Amino acid sequence: MRIPLKSLILPWLLALTLIVNLGPAPASAENSGVVEDFRPVLQTYRIVNEEYLKQENIDKGKLVKGAIDGMLEVLPDGFDGKGRREIEVEEFSWNGLQPKEALQPTMELYQKLLDETREEEYPGKKDLLKAAISGMLEVTGDSYARVYTEEEFQELRRSLENGVFVGFGLELKKAEGPPRVLGIHSDSPASRSSIRTGDLFLRIDGKSTERMSCERVIDLLSGEKGEKTSLRIEHRNGEREKITLVRSEFEVTPLESELLPGSNIALLDINLFSSATHRELESFLKNIKERFLEPRVEDELNNQGELGKYYCLLGTAHAKNEGYEKALKYYKYAKEIFEKEEIEVPVSLARTYDNLGSVYQKEEKFTEAIEYHEKALASYRDLSNEKVAEIAKTYGNIGTTHFESGKNSKAKEYYGQAAELLEGVSGSERVYLAQVYSDLGVVLENQGKIDESIELQENALGILEEAPQESPAAFANIYGRLASAHREKGEIEQTMDYYEKRSRARREASDAEARSDLSSYGNLKWKHGTEEDKIKSVEEYEKQIMALQGFSGIIVDLRNNSGGSQSSAISSLMEFFEEGPVAKSLRWDGEISVYEAMGDAFPNFPSVVLINNRTASASEVFAVAIQDRERGVLVGRRSYGKPYGQTIYKMSDGFYVELTVREFLAPSGKEFPKEGLEPDLSSPDYPEDIPLAIEWILEN
């Protein structure tokens, strides 16, 4: 049984995922005082029987005996009251009994012990109740079950929030016999003592640990700042020593991050998944992205043309998602690159000017919009006539800008020039010709020329019907405009007919097509390089730009990270996946919960997760997602093997019970290997891990 480092800093859990409040257990008139005292024990009995993951391990008789043994274990040395071991648990079936009936022997012992100790003597009510719950949890076989008092739990929450803990900074493993030191936290009381990894704890404050329960070890090692504990230890060489440790505060930094010089690889050393981990991780990755998305003035010009192209495409990807502020920023980056005399990319400069004009138009800065659209026209005129379609689209964009600024005559003029240029086009450009006719029709309707507007809209429909590819969104757009025009004429039947046709066309249109083409008038045409460029995501363009500017990948160091909050680990995974499941969990009754990514992830660069035999719990949930979904590889040595999740239940009278209630699965639904995760690339020793990770990233 592993005793986590956190349990010895203070009574801390490995997986804070949920806190559940329980209602009071029913009390009866008979012996109501004892029943009222025993409410948290009765609630624990019920929760174990209803929620514990390993239901097959539950023996209700042993639960009762465990509660009794727990109370007897905390009796002080020399206590010889009549009730010490007089009560025997009868061998009968507990099946079907209510908690109060099943725990009747435990309540009798509790009453006897209270009767035979004075109020000021140890143990008191709280001590006996906590011991009863602890004993019950011990016999479940749940290595991670734990009971907290109100004070312990509040200290736990504070520590999770600020990363400051009180204790010795030890991580122990308890199986048969005395607990063994598994790890020592830096800058802690234990780190300043003669205790070393592998040492055995033979006695704690004079009490033998040979047959001591895990809960009892934790209780004896927990305490307040400044308190002392005497330890009898056996070093790995067989020498024995008695030492005294004083509890003190020390800090656990959840995340340490840096950009490795030379390789431009981000190193994220996650020591603990706490409430602050995801926030710090998100902030660091955001800063890295911003740094590598800004033009790097020290770079040579040999890749600047390519960089400008991707800035322009990234701006368009944001513009199509209505992220106009970001679009404007990236278009300006592209403009600055393309305006340099050394960069010979006039077509790209013209497209960038046009897109800048479209963003300003969306922000209703019409003067700036016209200025940049006119610059685009001037740039296109310097090129060959092969760019007729792009010039026509720029005329259309100028027409839309004039229309939105209330200049109908100017809008009509520019839409007319766009239509004139497009008369002879073929193929997919015919769809845009139909759009220009439709836009011109809206201008005429706005001028009160309804019949001319309807004629142009019908011409647009005819062109669409002859176009080589289907465009349901474009049909829906024109149907809506025809409905509007007929409504102006008071022609209800035609109006309703076109609205119905628009509804059918919209249902056929894809979501993306509908978003881009179903404006009420004047669609801006964002300029792309190729058809493939149109379907790429913001993340893909960000990755291209960051790679051009030297960013290589990410190393996440989870070595010696024994877990923490699994909800924090899952939140952190959201930074690495745009969509799909990042984790799944299984209850005892077969119910599976799925944790889905929510978008806005860091670009998909090569990633490595470092693991070793002390990578456990929440860290394994993180690592297996990266491996299972092929987001990266695992490097190092086999992990600990703890795929279980706990929930903390709030009981009556200020008690909290942590219980294992779920088993985590890989995102694909595969079970964790109980012996731990196997790395994709094995490394013989700690110092070799990061060089191997860097080598893999640079090769990929």
Let me know whether 335 and 470 are in one domain.
yes
Residues 6+ away with beta carbon under 8 Å from 70: 131, 132, 133, 134, 135, 136, 138
Note whether residue 6 is domain-resident.
no
pLDDT, residue 521, reads 36
Let me know whether 517 and 493 are in one domain.
yes
- Start-to-end CA span in the chain (Å): 40
Give me the residues paired with residue 635 across strands.
Answer: 610, 681
Asked whether residue 2 carries a pLDDT value surpassing 50, the answer given is: no
* 146 three-state secondary structure: strand
pLDDT, residue 77, reads 63
Span 400-415, pLDDT tens digits: 999 999 999 999 999 9
Note whether residue 8 is domain-resident.
no
Note whether residue 4 is domain-resident.
no
Asked whether residue 663 carries a pLDDT value surpassing 80, the answer given is: yes
Let me know whether 319 and 461 are in one domain.
yes
Exposed/middle/buried for 276, CB within 10 Å: 0-12, 13-18, 19+? middle
Asked whether residue 288 carries a pLDDT value surpassing 90, the answer given is: yes
Let me know whether 31 and 51 are in one domain.
yes
How far from 363 is each of 326, 334, 374, 387, CA to CA, in Å?
A: 12, 19, 18, 27
Q: Could you tell me the pTM of the whole model? A: 0.76
CB-based contact 612:588 (threshold 8 Å): no
Note whether residue 485 is domain-resident.
yes
Alpha-carbon torsion angle 136, 140, 143, 147, nearest 10: -30
C-alpha torsion sign, points 12, 14, 20, 24 = negative
Let me know whether 625 and 573 are in one domain.
yes
DSSP 573: H
Q: Could you list the residue range(s) of the whole structural domain that residue 173 is in?
A: 164-251
Asked whether residue 644 carries a pLDDT value surpassing 60, the answer given is: yes
Let me know whether 146 and 178 are in one domain.
no
Span 579-630, pLDDT tens digits: 999 999 999 999 999 999 988 889 999 999 999 988 999 999 999 999 999 9
C-alpha torsion sign, points 447, 450, 455, 457 = positive
Note whether residue 291 is domain-resident.
no
User: What CATH number has the domain bearing residue 461?
Assistant: 1.25.40.10
Alpha carbons within 13 angstroms on the beta-carbon side of residue 226 total 0
How far from 409 is each of 362, 414, 456, CA to CA, in Å?
A: 20, 9, 17
- Domain boundary residue, one of 537, 569, 604: 537
pLDDT band at 343 (very low <50, low <70, confident <90, very high): low
pLDDT, residue 79, reads 58
- Report, in this order, helix, strand and coil percent for the chain, each rounded to 5: 50, 15, 35
* Residues 268, 259: Cα–Cα separation, whole Å: 9
Q: How many domains does the chain have?
A: 4
Let me know whether 247 and 350 are in one domain.
no
Q: Alpha carbon 60 to chain centroid distance?
A: 39
Let me know whether 507 and 603 are in one domain.
no
One-letter amino acid for residue 24 of the chain: P
Give mean pLDDT, residues 534-540.
72
Q: How many CB atoms lie within 10 A of CB 9?
A: 27
Q: For the chain, what percent of residues have pLDDT higher than 90?
A: 47
User: What CATH number has the domain bearing residue 581?
Assistant: 3.90.226.10
42 vs 513, more confident = 42
pLDDT, residue 29, reads 34
Span 480-496, pLDDT tens digits: 999 999 999 999 999 99
pLDDT band at 516 (very low <50, low <70, confident <90, very high): very low
Phi-psi region of 656 (alpha: psi -120 to 50; beta: other; left: phi over 0): beta
pLDDT, residue 326, reads 93
Let me know whether 135 and 207 are in one domain.
no
Max distance between CA atoms of the chain, in angstroms, equals 108
- Domain boundary residue, one of 537, 560, 583: 537
Let me know whether 531 and 662 are in one domain.
no
Among 82-96, 226-240, 260-274, the range scoring the smallest mean pLDDT is 82-96
Let me know whether 75 and 111 are in one domain.
yes
